[in-house]
Homo-oligomer: A and B are copies of this chain.
Amino acid sequence: MKAAILAVGSELLGTDRLDTNSLRLTGLLARHGVELRRKAVIGDSEEEIAGELRALLPRVDLILVTGGLGPTADDVTREAVAAALGRRLHPDAAVLADLERRFQSLGWRMPEVNRRQAQVVDGAEVLPNARGTAPGMRLERNGCTLFLFPGVPTELEGLMETALEPWLAARSGGVARETAVLKIAGLPESVVEERIAPAYDEFGREAITILANVGEIRLQATAEGPEPERRARLQAMVSRLAELAGDAVYTTREEDTLESVVGDLLRAAGTTLTAAESCTGGLLAQRITGVAGSSDYFLGGAVTYSNELKTKLVGVPAGLIAEHGAVSEPVARAMAEGVRRALKSDWGVGITGIAGPGGGTPEKPVGTVHIAVAGPRDGEVEHRKLRLPGDRDRVRRFSAQIALEMLRRRLLAAAEPA
């Protein structure tokens, strides 16, 4: 079954609101194996709405419309649907009586404008709305089903439960759709793409989605059909993708983040971490401490923005900075070892770089970043030099991401039996 969602409301075309109702509907559709083909937002224009519906009717099996069922003059969904289907509106006595009762029970007389909400499209089934004045409607036309829902989220949710879900359940006959995720850090999207290419052939290109965001790749695998085939297929996809992507996959659990995975490794090993940050300015510590319970393994850190603090807080020799510059491999190594030693942790991270926009030189352009991970024994320091593209924010985010990924790999290696 193919579906489309249409959100009606000029306020949804402004600069500060998004159609969040569609996320609620999408979750329900996905659980019943309905494929969402498109969603659209249209203003309170009868002509535009009717035009969109006419275009959708022959192309999908299910159209979910939200909004535009209120009592005011700019609520035109009822008229637009009638126009698109070539039908008329009629006043529904039962709906009108119900509306009047609603207002009476609140001690008010029903305003005249609310009569509009008792207008029903010919042939529609009225869907009672216990949470508001706008009833929903269900209509059929040449094998396509339309649901009209109010745009108020709580009212929509009520009707999803009482009207949409039972209807979907009756039709889907247990067929469903499931998604699994693999998260990858520190690899470019195109490298991941090359690695997993064989899986596209094996499972189909539509079944696998790849999303990139500042040093983080998200692979999504989707399987449809009845159990137990669906589950087996999903597991086969995840296994194959994990095999192809290799040890760059840091988790297959949606709730994990790179920093929570690093935290779990630290906790499992009973080891502790500290960090000395220059160009990231606390971003790494902030991500690590964003994880609940991180005080189990993260002792703290130093934001050593000035050269003096690199020396004072984590013991980087002033001569080393003078000789190599603050952004250099020796200083990054000294920061990682220094913070580990000064703050008495098993592991230490040092990050120093030029995030920009100022501060770059021909030898050390903006984006030059040195990252070092020290531990768990004295003198065991790993170093990477990066030349990162992008603006200040991106250089900082990328640096923190790479530092976490370096740490993860070191922790994994340390956890292996010698």
Contact = CB atoms under 8 A, between A and B. Distances in A.
Interface of A: 10-11, 13-16, 18-20, 22-23, 26-27, 30, 36-45, 48, 52, 55, 70-74, 102, 105-108, 111-114, 131-132, 152, 154, 179, 188-191, 193-194, 200, 205-206, 209-213, 220, 275, 277, 280-286, 288-290, 292-295, 298-306, 308-309, 312-313, 343-344, 356-358, 387, 389-394, 396
26 contacts: A13-B38, A15-B26, A15-B27, A18-B19, A38-B43, A39-B40, A70-B212, A71-B190, A74-B210, A106-B389, A111-B188, A111-B193, A280-B286, A280-B289, A282-B303, A285-B303, A290-B393, A292-B358, A295-B306, A299-B305, A299-B309, A300-B302, A300-B303, A300-B309, A301-B302, A313-B313
Contacts of A280: 286, 289
A194 B220 CA distance: 47
Nearest to A43: B37
Nearest to A194: B111
Contacts of A70: 189, 212
A69 to B, nearest CB: 12
A289 B300 contact: no
The 7 closest A-B pairs by CB, nearest first: A281-B289, A282-B285, A282-B282, A282-B286, A300-B309, A301-B303, A40-B40
Nearest to A18: B18
A344 B43 CA distance: 51
Contacts of A189: 70-72
Contact of A39 (B13, B15, B113, B275): B13
A186 B335 CA distance: 36
